[in-house]
Each structure stands twice: as structure tokens, then as C-alpha cells.
Amino acid sequence: MSENGSLRRGRPGYDQQGILDVAIAAFNEYGYDATSMGVLAERLGLSKSAIYHHFASKDEILDRALDTALSALERVVDETDAAGSRAADRLDRVLRGAVHVLVDQLPSVTLLLRVRGNTEVERRALGRRRAFDKRVTALVAEAQAEGTLRSDIDVRIVERLLFGMINSIVEWYRPGGEEDADRLADDVIAIALDGLRMPTSNRVEQLLG
């Protein structure tokens, strides 16, 4: 008998993660405010008290859901910081890592991107998102200073446009589609760092000059 109860007969059991997954899907479908604990209990086929056995409140479920996405994104920057190579290479790794987090944690990142700061839990999540953005912006600034990235665009605008592109993937990406995360990360890097335009000899001279 497997530990997660997949061979258990009758009504499927839910561990904490299982409840979390169903809750995130419901929040994304109906909105957090419109999803009551009663609605959640119904979707899970559990009593409300069975949910309260795992989570103190709906707010705590949201907190855990947002933490899943934020921790994964923060880990990407932490690990890259430790790599210690050129800033442009570290940025390359952060962008690739972010695409992977987005694909692997699609539901919780989708939820994170919809947070508007209506509750204390949401405001804390927005604070962590801003801190993440700041670290990426600092990396862009470092790469501009070392001369590996063009320096004629404001670093904050660069960061916003890069993550605008990456975050938009949640709008259309569906698991099991044609593009896997590695391929999608390659595409993002190709556009963002190398550009779509084939260089003319003029352009190459201009860049080298």
C-alpha cells in the first residue's frame, strides 16, 4: 500500500498537499474571495472540520499556496547567486529557472500573479515579489556595468519587460503541450538576450564598434 493512499479503497483521502492543490485550482477558477470553506469542502468531498484539521483558516491555505510559488522563485535566485559567474550568465540562469518554476508550479504562480494586496497575507506575498524583482533588477544592473548587457535601457524597465514576457506564459501554457519547459526557456532566452532579428552586416559593425 503506497504511503499517499493511492491504493486506498472508497473515498480518496487528502493529505495537506492534496487539499492545497484542490484549493489553488478553486481559487484560480472562482477567485479567492468567492471560494468559501464550504465550497472547498464540497469540492473535496470532506467536512469543513476535516479541512480545519490541516489548515487553521482559508487565509492560511492562501499563505501556503503563495509560499509554494515564492519559495521556488527565491530558490532560483539563491542558487544563481552562489554560482558566482558573470552577471549576464547568472541572469540567463535566473530567466531559465523562472520559466521552469512557472511550468512546474503553474497553478500556484497563476494565483500569485493575481494577488492585488487585499489582505495581510496578500500584502506579504507582494512584498516578497518586490524583493525578488529587486534582486533580478540588481543582476541586470551588474550585467550592464560589466558590459555584457546593453546599458541604454533603464534596469527597472528591463526587469519588468523580461518578467512580463515570462509571466505571460501562465495565460496560455498547458502541461503536455508541444513545448516543454527546456524548449520554452530556450525561446525566452533567444528573444530576450539575443533578439529575433537576423543581424545585417551594418548591425554587426554597429554592435562591434
Interface positions with a copy of itself (CB under 8 A): 88, 147-150, 152-154, 157-158, 160-169, 171-172, 178-179, 184, 187-188, 190-199, 201, 203-204, 207-208
How near is the Cβ of 84 to a copy of itself at its closest, in Å? 19
Nearer to a copy of itself, 15 or 33 (CB): 33
* The three three-digit cell numbers of residue 32, written as one number: 479567492
In the complex, the smallest distance separating the C-beta of residue 142 from a copy of itself, rounded to whole angstroms, is 13
> In terms of CB distance, is 83 or 190 closer to a copy of itself?
190
Whichever of 6 and 201 has its CB closer to a copy of itself, that residue is: 201
Question: What's the closest the beta carbon of residue 23 comes to a copy of itself, in angstroms?
Answer: 21
Contacts 24+ apart (CB under 8 A), 147-150: 148/86, 148/87, 148/88, 149/87, 149/88, 149/91
CB of 187 to a copy of itself, least distance (A): 5
Residue 19 vs 184, nearer CB to a copy of itself? 184
Residue whose CB is less far from a copy of itself, 19 or 80 = 80
Cα–Cα dist 95/181, whole Å: 12
Taking the complex as a whole, the smallest distance from the CB of residue 140 to a copy of itself amounts, in Å, to 8
Return contacts of 85-91, CB within 8 angstroms, 24+ apart: 86/143, 86/146, 86/148, 87/139, 87/142, 87/143, 87/145, 87/146, 87/148, 87/149, 88/143, 88/146, 88/148, 88/149, 88/193, 90/139, 90/143, 91/136, 91/139, 91/140, 91/143, 91/149, 91/193
Q: How far apart are CA 163 and CA 113, in angstroms?
A: 11
